[in-house]
A and B are shown apart, each in its own frame.
Chain A
Amino acid sequence: MARDKYQTLTEQMFYILICLTQESYGVDIMKKVEELTNGRVIIGPGTLYSLLDNFVRENIIIETKIENRKKNYIITSFGTEMLEKEYLRVTKLKRDYEALIKGGEQN
């Protein structure tokens, strides 16, 4: 099911998973994504909660510990695989664009 649902990742999903390559807790993720993208991608608290909840249910991330009521998460190998696939997909898009559009202009 997870494969079908997350065949492509939204930008918010992509950056959440990138942040979770290192153990982090929810509020940290929100801040990190904003910093990483210079405020281009922001994640609302409702969306963050839903995505983290769904990712845990689909075994894309796991809960590691709870410190002062703060839940920490880290990406799983399945999640890493998904992230890698997304990277390859986006790279392919980039290559295709360069070959078909930019290359086409040169010709």
Chain B
Amino acid sequence: MKDRSKRIMNFRYDRFEDTENKLEKLAAKGLFLEVCGSFSWTFRKGTPKKLKYTVTYFSEGSVFNPDITDNQQTYIDYAKAAGWNFVTQFNQMQIFSSETDNSIPFETDEKEKLNNIKRCMNKSFILPMIAMILVFLLNLIVQFNSFQLNPIDYLSDPIRLLSSSMIAAAVIYHVYSLMTYYIWLKHSEKSIALGGECVKNSRIMYKIVDIISMFILFGSLGYLLFFLAFKTSRFGLVLTVAQVPILMIVFWSSIKYLKKKKASATVNKLISYTVLTVASFAYLALFMAFIMRFGFGISNESNYQTVNWQLSETESYEYRLYSDEIPLTSEDLYGPIDYNYYSYEMEIDNTFFLSKSVYRQDSPPAKDAPPRIEYEILEPQFDFVYRLAKAHLLEIPEWRDNTTFELIDNKIFDTEEAYQLYYENTPTGEYTLFFGDRIITLNMKEPLTTKQISIVKEKLHI
């Protein structure tokens, strides 16, 4: 039987009483804390006994310190004299235990205790929290920008929607954490000013919110991975899932190695963060190389063959030719075509807001390439999504001032509203068709004839 046990501990710096209670309960079950980390804590197995734990904060504490500092040793010596044995530390958090019931309380001046907590929280809790909120907000701004640029792509992409909502939930949770800390701080200050002590910060409500937040976080993460498993190749999925653990292993290995080499805390911090930054970029480069080589959005299950296409005398490129079932083909519109390099592609995205189906019959570039077609069917689930999609589809960038959308007769496609794109006053094969509950865009080689229109209507069930 293993004599060590690792546990995932969800702790918060400002809720030290929760950690103390948890450790006391585990000691009563025969699990004694040995090492604590940011996520996983190590326990030694032994005979259950009653132990008292205290979680305190020491401003000089840091994971980058090569050893216990002299001041920290003095702190530990004082604790020892008062009956408290040093157990372990993580950053500024210091954990002590005592076997005696009548050991001297670790803190006997509530004002000093609060001042010390405040000082350490600013470094270990508030600053990282604010930094995380800023990073998340920046990410949300980027997401919002991508939504503004193309609301159709954004609202039909489950991964982007899920990651945005996860980030938004993380911002809310971090702001909530900061708020509860400041509320506790204000209550404690008031209590101390009236001769009382720091108030307890372990309300049942906080625990419920924590459990719900963790449930949402892990639930969304699980859904995201489940979704990626069906959308990406296995190696792509492994790369995505392994990113955070690999980078964390690199970061912590660097810290541990430099600590072993007795590098100063400043040198260790500088080198380890540099290693983390370089590793992040290297990982990103590996990821991009993988996407460029194998693609990412197409499943392994897709039915395709590759052709090595000669672009010029010296240059060639490997193209993928897919054989997806698409409802309307160039052959349907233009008659039999004797061509072996067509790629029949279908991409379907579904979300709570919008369903988007893109169909494409494409061919590698060539002067005498046969006709290519592309069409898109949008099914918005809400009126506002319909309006957003419509506005986006009819938007013409300023630089395309030679292009216009012209209204066409609704009878042609049995639409509620229909447009044809004109380029320098000449009609093109691009149509945007609005129905009551769906929108269809057609991108054909040239304007459709009456016969072709009836084929389109039949094949797309218009």
Q: Which residues of A contact B (CB under 8 A)?
A: 10, 12, 26-27, 30-31, 42-51, 54, 69-71
Contact = CB atoms under 8 A, between A and B. Distances in A.
A45 B82 contact: yes
11 contacts: A12-B109, A27-B81, A43-B104, A44-B106, A45-B81, A45-B104, A46-B75, A47-B106, A69-B70, A69-B74, A70-B77
B116 interface: yes
Nearest to A31: B81
A40 to B, nearest CB: 12
Contacts of B133: none
Contact of A51 (B73, B81, B109): B109
A19 to B, nearest CB: 14
B189 to A, nearest CB: 15
B108 interface: yes
B105 interface: yes
B107 interface: yes
A30 B105 CA distance: 12
Judged by DSSP, the binding face of A is helix
B296 interface: no
B10 interface: no
A12 to B, nearest CB: 6
A46 B56 contact: yes
B116 A46 contact: yes
Contacts of B167: none
Contact of A44 (B73, B107, B111): B107
B113 A46 contact: yes
A70 B75 CA distance: 11
B401 interface: no
Nearest to A27: B81
Contacts of B75: 45-46, 49
Contacts of B104: 30, 42-45
Contact of A49 (B74, B105, B111, B115): B74
Contacts of A12: 108-109
A97 to B, nearest CB: 19
A47 B73 contact: no
A46 B74 CA distance: 11
A71 to B, nearest CB: 6
Nearest to A42: B104
Nearest to B109: A47
B389 interface: no
Contact of A69 (B77, B107, B108, B115): B77
Contact of B108 (A26, A27, A31, A44): A44
B84 interface: yes
Interface in B65-79: 70, 73-75, 77-79
Contacts of A31: 81
Given A30-B82, A50-B115, A50-B116, A43 B77 contact: no
B186 to A, nearest CB: 20
A47 B114 CA distance: 10
B115 A45 contact: no
A30 B77 CA distance: 12
Interface centre among A10, A27, A42, A45 (most CB of B within 10 A): A45
A26 B109 contact: no
Contacts of B73: 69
Interface string B89-114: 00000000000000011111101110
Given A46-B56, A46-B107, A50-B109, 10 more contacts: A12-B108, A27-B78, A31-B81, A43-B109, A44-B104, A45-B79, A47-B107, A47-B108, A50-B112, A69-B70
A44 B77 contact: no
A51 B107 CA distance: 11
Contacts of B115: 50
B31 to A, nearest CB: 25
Contact of A46 (B70, B81, B106, B111): B106
A30 B109 contact: no
Contacts of A47: 106-109, 112-113
A63 to B, nearest CB: 11
B229 to A, nearest CB: 50
Interface centre among A12, A31, A43, A48 (most CB of B within 10 A): A48
A30 B78 contact: yes
Contacts of B74: 26, 49, 69-71
A61 to B, nearest CB: 14
A105 B233 CA distance: 92
